[in-house]
Amino acid sequence: MTSLAEADAPFRPVADAVLAVAAVASELGRDDLAGRLRIAVARLTRPTTIVCVVGEFKQGKSSLVNAIVGESICPVDDDLATSALTLLRYGDERRVEVRRTVGQESLVESSSVEDLGDWVSEAGNPGNAKGVERVDVAVPNSLLAKGIAFVDTPGMGSLGAGHAAATLAFLPFADALVFVSDASAELSAPELEFLQRARELCPTVLFALTKTDLHASWRRVADLNAGHLSHADVELVPLPVSSQLRTLAVARSDETLNRSSGFPALYGELSGRVLRPAKQLAARRAVDEAQAGATQLETTLRSELSALTDPEAAAQTASQAAAVAARLEHLRGPGARWSVLVGDRVVDLTNDVTFVFRGRMRQITRDLETEIENLKTGKDWDELARSLQTQVAEAVTTAFTAIAAGAQSTREDVVDLLAEETLVLNAVEQTGLPFDVQSLWSGHSLDPQGSKAGRALGTTLSGLRGAQSGIIMFGMMARFLPAGVGALLMTNPVTLGLGVAFGGMQIRDAQSRKVAQRRQQARAHVRQFVDDVQFEVGNAMSEALRAVQRSIRDEFTDRVGELQRTYADASRQATEAATRGADDAARRTAEVTASLDAIAAARAPLAAALAGASA
Amino acid sequence: MSTALEQALDLCDRAVSLAPSRATEIGVVRQRAQGPLRVALAGRVKAGKSTLLNALVGERLAATDAGECTRIVTWFQDGSGYDVQALLSDGSRVAIPFRRVDGALQLQLDGLDADQVTRLEVTWPSARLRSITLIDTPGLASLDDRNSLRTREFLAMGEDRPADADAVIYLMRHLHRADAEFLGAFLDRSVSASSPVNAVAVLARADEIGACRLDAMTSAARIASRYQADPVLRSLCTHVTAMAGLLAETGLTLREDEANALRTLAQTPSAELDAMLLSVDAFCEPASSELTVEMRRALLERLGLYGLRLVVQELVAARAGTATELSRVLLAASGLDALRALIDGHFLPRAQTLKARSALAALRDVARSLAADDPAGARALDAEIERVEAAIPDFAELRTTHLVLSGAVILSAAETAEVELACTPGATDSTRLGIDEGSTAEVRRQAALLAVGRWRTRASDPLNDSATNEVCETMARTFEGIYAAAV
Ligand SMILES: Nc1nc2c(ncn2[C@@H]2O[C@H](COP(=O)(O)OP(=O)(O)OP(=O)(O)O)[C@@H](O)[C@H]2O)c(=O)[nH]1
Ligand SMILES: Nc1nc2c(ncn2[C@@H]2O[C@H](COP(=O)(O)OP(=O)(O)OP(=O)(O)O)[C@@H](O)[C@H]2O)c(=O)[nH]1
Ligand SMILES: [Mg+2]
Ligand SMILES: [Mg+2]
């Protein structure tokens, strides 16, 4: 078992090696490249992994989050507590942002940790009547600084319904899930069902068996649960923890108490199964970027060196490099093929996703209308409302996963298209200058296996995790879903009194006019609900798609810009080289050679560091 | 005029002549209607049903355990001798050997296949079981579907057959959707069978809801009253009370050796005692006390961490010392009195009506089964049941109370209070009219007449839905009855 601090150790050489390349880049005046490498290192030091804490209500989810970070942030209560999502992540200073919808308007308001209860708790915001979509809490906390963001969720299974469906919808965008169930009793049927479903959507699942300080038979319950899980083919081992003891241990700095809280084991799992894979991915990317950056630096220096050693060829080198730069200038513009491709693909994606989503919603409406015709009792209506919620949430998840996957494959196609450009560029230049453009894009690929494998990904979700887009998509989902859930809540049969009304009248006995009226009402509710959802989802999807398009364009425009600068520099240096006097040329040659040596030296440890981190 | 129960018993006698082939079944219905009220304890797995049952009886009759435990519906009834029998699905009975270990009843069920057993019947002489028979049920939402199924079958949920229980005490640990579903379904059936207010909810294991802190029970009581005011729960059952069944069970069965051990425990120096009471593991740490680890484990099981903290606090403050005093501390904290008051005030006064209702439902079942071989007899029996049901005012009042208290019919606060008073089972006519006790017949007549007029007017409001009309009509008839009685 590794502690969180030890877990950092293998990644430190990678960070150092990449920073060394960044230092050389700065020295050579390429702050753009250096900046990018420093960002990659920051991502390695603090990957933004998202860990959702879920479970039935009152199992101790919020207490667990507080105990993990060692600060009391999320509201805890004996009575129902959490009513809205809280995203807790690292920030240099405390900042609380409440995102909510009032009427048709989306608001972002700032608040404070002290007032968090006004927004996310049943006491301050009963049934989430304030329409809170998510509260972002940033705190300068040393554990969060490791790169995990926790999402505290409302408990599932309350009458407020919808929560389970909503939580499941988030899972494809979470890096891990901590399922919380307390030691007072073994897992119930709905809990196990949820776990089985969750496993399909999120491969990294931890199981925290909480409140071990309270329940004398926690060991029995842990064994029983392990038995149920293995019987259901869910490979999961309950991690017994006590948030209460952990909190006391922190307050008293008591190591023995800390051990008996079970938290060291939980940290071990978080570190080994959540942080480590995220860091390995980030390390691979950082090293790829460092290699590519170093190649660009070398490109400029080599072309200058060849001009210095062979002034005859200098003019030709300069013009070739200038030609490449000009070509790249064209690639930067909105008329470039790849840019047009991005636009087309996003339009296609919009059409596809909208078409599928609309179709699915129509299907759901049709199915439900048939079922309403056969409705017997109020209980059946309950069942129906719940299946409506689940089906709609699934349709929404599918839509957003399709957007994320579409963004991914568009990106891969851009990489391929630019690879063709590379061939064109290669034809332009004959100088033997290194010209490994491909490594630039694939170095940034979302999928560790590279672009070709990435395309096969279309239907799988694995590529979405740990990706930069993860947190964006998560935000999109978070922004949308609770609004949908709010609408779902309104159609909750109990709240409407519809279920009770049905229940009270035994449909088969009652006068048929009344029954027909109730059915009419039920159909109207379903249709209204589906319309509301379509409106909400429609907006959220267009926003997501615009964000996708913008992010791909920005990314590649920046990259082409960097490359262009490399060649423009190369051309300028070559021209200058030709005009230098002999002494000057000799001095410059020594300088350039020294720089190339420095790059080689900075580059040398990259591979070994990465191998160490991946082991 | 005879009571609802008397009329139901009469009906049984007439039913035998209408359906002689079903005499045995009808005999059973009649016998049950004369026996105690049958109250089932239901709830999700491990809600603490068996523990609470023991607390209500005051003896450790039902087995309790941290792992899923109750697998067979078990009846606990009063009798002159001690006897345990299993009723098998083929209708036969087998005697079950049993013994008592440390005061707890242990049944030898070896070789008995739970699927073959319809129910267990434990007959136990006990004053507490004289007026009600308590029924322990397997947990709902269990991972073992068959267990939940047994409870659902027993309570006849989703079936066209009357439930074997007249009323239910529903245990929940917070209102989970599954709980609301269950209560809704139970209610569904009850209302369709044209009645009652036969469910109360218990916020169970209340000591744990407040994380076993010393203020846990206060916190749980606050939550219970919030639920009681919650419209959703209110539409499902009318009362919610917080209760720590374990404290009540142990309070009623505390042994001298346990009291001794608790006193020894309280002697521990306070710093060490605090450390021990921090967690269950710390409590059982071998070195921290001279008590054996086995004894400490046993105490934990009997009292829970809250019970231990509470008892130790009282012992240290010298507010309690003897076993009797400790029992009193535990009982006072447990909330048992409030639950008993609910049973006494809510179920028992309606017992006759509830039993009559169950009997009518059971007879209807007999009529249904008769339809195949004697359609004419079945129709005649059905008509007779219908006639009796319509003639019993108690049913209409029970239903009215239910409609109003559940919020299905919404009246003004004054009207609601009037309904509650007028439908109070066993109350005097003056109380029901809301006038001074000992008012003269003339005063009662006047008051009743006014009320009849008021409700008739209210019934003619064109905006009423049919349920509201029903309530107004019932109220008018109720006051007519009071008027007639005062003439
Ligand atoms: N003793 C003890 N109490 C705990 C522990 N974890 C939670 N609790 C208590 O359990 C209760 C519920 O804790 P919360 O953290 O609010 O639970 P939750 O799952 O977030 O609840 P909801 O948000 O309402 O679903 C509170 O009374 C906590 O004090 C624990 O490890 N030990
Ligand atoms: N702290 C505490 N523990 C309780 C209370 N009531 C029951 N328990 C414990 O909870 C566990 C389950 O109690 P049972 O009475 O067997 O629960 P049940 O609902 O009958 O369980 P099943 O029959 O298996 O569904 C046992 O370990 C009890 O000691 C209570 O009020 N407080
Ligand atoms: Mg919470
Ligand atoms: Mg039990």
Q: To which H or E segment does residue B93 belong? A: strand B93-95
Within this chain, do residues A406 and A257 fall inside the same structural domain, yes or no?
no
- Average pLDDT, stretch A142-155? 88
pLDDT of residue A494: 37
- CB of A82 within 8 Å of any CB in chain B? no
A513 domain residue, yes or no: yes
Last-in-domain residue among A236, A261, A286: A261
Tell me the CATH number at A211. 3.40.50.300
Rounded Cα distance between A464 and B296, Å, is 52
Least confident of A73-87, A155-169, A344-358: A155-169
State the distance from the centre of ligand 4 to the C-alpha of B425, rounded, in angstroms.
32
DSSP-assigned states of every residue in A299-316:
HHHHHHHHHHH-HHHHHH
A206 domain residue, yes or no: yes
3-class secondary-structure state, position A68: helix
A16 domain residue, yes or no: no
Within this chain, do residues A92 and A198 fall inside the same structural domain, yes or no?
yes
ipTM of the complex: 0.84
List CB contacts (< 8 A) between B408 and chain A: 500-501, 504
- Residue B280 and residue A212: Cβ atoms within 8 Å? yes
Within this chain, do residues A339 and A477 fall inside the same structural domain, yes or no?
yes
pLDDT of residue B4: 84
B400: Cβ below 6 Å to ligand 2? no
Q: Which atom of ligand 1 is nearest to the CA of A81?
A: 24
pLDDT of residue A451: 33
Rounded Cα distance between B327 and B325, Å, is 5
Least confident of A41-50, A392-401, A575-584, B363-372: A392-401
- CB of A254 within 8 Å of any CB in chain B? no
3-class secondary-structure state, position A82: strand
3-class secondary-structure state, position A136: strand
Within this chain, do residues A423 and A512 fall inside the same structural domain, yes or no?
yes
Question: A552-568 in b/e burial notation, b at 16+ Cβ within 10 A?
Answer: bbeebbebbebbbbbbb
DSSP-assigned states of every residue in A91-121:
-SS-EEEEEEEETTEEEEEEE-GGGTHHHHB
Among protein residues, the one whose CA lies closest to atom 9 of ligand 2: B48
pLDDT of residue B288: 87
Question: B26-50 in b/e burial notation, b at 16+ Cβ within 10 A?
Answer: beebbebbeebbbbbbbbbbbbbbb
pLDDT for A17 beyond 60: yes
Number of structural domains chain A divides into: 2
Half-sphere exposure of B214 (CA within 13 A, CB side): 9
- CB of A42 within 8 Å of any CB in chain B? no
CA distances from B81 to A446, B78, B125 (A): 77, 9, 6
Rounded Cα distance between A310 and A381, Å, is 85
Within this chain, do residues A375 and A255 fall inside the same structural domain, yes or no?
no
State the distance from the centre of ligand 2 to the C-alpha of B51, rounded, in angstroms.
6
* Residue of chain A nearest B196, judged by CA positions: A504
Within this chain, do residues A81 and A167 fall inside the same structural domain, yes or no?
yes
Nearest-CB residue to A503 (from B177, B187, B300): B187
pLDDT tens digit string along B437-470?
A: 989 999 999 999 999 999 999 988 887 877 788 8
A612 domain residue, yes or no: no
- According to DSSP, the β-strands at B93-95 and B98-101 are unpaired
Among protein residues, the one whose CA lies closest to atom 7 of ligand 2: B48
Cβ atoms of residues A203 and A466 within 8 Å = no
pLDDT for B390 beyond 90: no
Higher pLDDT, B105 or B401: B105
In angstroms, the separation between the Cα of residue B231 and the nearest Cα of chain A is 9
A272 domain residue, yes or no: no
| Banded pLDDT at B145 (limits 50, 70, 90) | low
Residues with Cβ within 8 Å of residue A427, at least 6 apart in sequence: none
Higher pLDDT, B245 or B289: B245
Q: Which amino acid is at A284?
A: R
Rounded Cα distance between B224 and B218, Å, is 10
pLDDT for A399 beyond 60: yes
Q: Which residues line ligand 1 (CB under 6 A)?
A: A 57-63, 76-78, 80-82, 154-155, 210-211, 213-214, 242-244; B 211
pLDDT of residue A506: 41
**Among A residues 381-440, those touching chain B with beta carbons less than 8 Å apart:** 382
Last-in-domain residue among A241, A261, A281: A261
pLDDT for A604 beyond 80: yes
pLDDT for A160 beyond 80: no
Within this chain, do residues A251 and A344 fall inside the same structural domain, yes or no?
no
Within this chain, do residues A487 and A373 fall inside the same structural domain, yes or no?
yes
- According to DSSP, the β-strands at B117-123 and B83-88 are antiparallel
Nearest-CB residue to A78 (from B184, B185, B209): B209
- Residue A159 and residue B180: Cβ atoms within 8 Å? yes
Cβ atoms of residues A481 and A170 within 8 Å = yes
List CB contacts (< 8 A) between B298 and chain A: none
Closest CA to A169 of A460, A394, A403: A394
**Domain range for residue A502?**
334-563
B51: Cβ below 6 Å to ligand 2? yes
List CB contacts (< 8 A) between B280 and chain A: 212-216, 218
Compute the C-alpha angle A203/A209/A213, nearest 5°.
160
pLDDT tens digit string along B218-232?
A: 999 999 998 888 777
Nearest-CB residue to A500 (from B177, B304, B408): B408
Token pair listed for A451? 């672009």
Q: Which atom of ligand 2 is nearest to the CA of B137?
A: 23
Within this chain, do residues A256 and A369 fall inside the same structural domain, yes or no?
no
- According to DSSP, the β-strands at B199-203 and B83-88 are unpaired
In angstroms, the separation between the Cα of residue B323 and the nearest Cα of chain A is 23
- According to DSSP, the β-strands at A105-111 and A95-102 are antiparallel
- Residue B232 and residue A377: Cβ atoms within 8 Å? no
- Average pLDDT, stretch A49-56? 89
Within this chain, do residues A252 and A339 fall inside the same structural domain, yes or no?
no
A602 domain residue, yes or no: no
Within this chain, do residues A100 and A243 fall inside the same structural domain, yes or no?
yes
pLDDT for A482 beyond 60: no
Last-in-domain residue among A261, A279, A300: A261
Among protein residues, the one whose CA lies closest to atom 10 of ligand 2: B48
Q: What are the CB-based long-range contacts (under 8 Å, 24+) for B114-118?
A: B114/B71, B114/B72, B114/B146, B114/B150, B115/B89, B115/B146, B116/B88, B116/B89, B117/B72, B117/B86, B117/B87, B117/B88, B117/B89, B118/B73, B118/B87, B118/B88, B118/B89
pLDDT tens digit string along A404-429?
A: 778 878 887 887 787 776 655 554 44
State the distance from the centre of ligand 1 to the C-alpha of A182, rounded, in angstroms.
9
State the distance from the centre of ligand 2 to the C-alpha of B155, rounded, in angstroms.
21
A44 domain residue, yes or no: no
Average pLDDT, chain A: 79
Q: Which residue has the tokens 């006790």?
A: B437
Among protein residues, the one whose CA lies closest to atom 17 of ligand 1: A60
- Average pLDDT, stretch A324-346? 86
β-pair partners for A51: A150, A176
- Residue B280 and residue A214: Cβ atoms within 8 Å? yes
| Banded pLDDT at A440 (limits 50, 70, 90) | very low
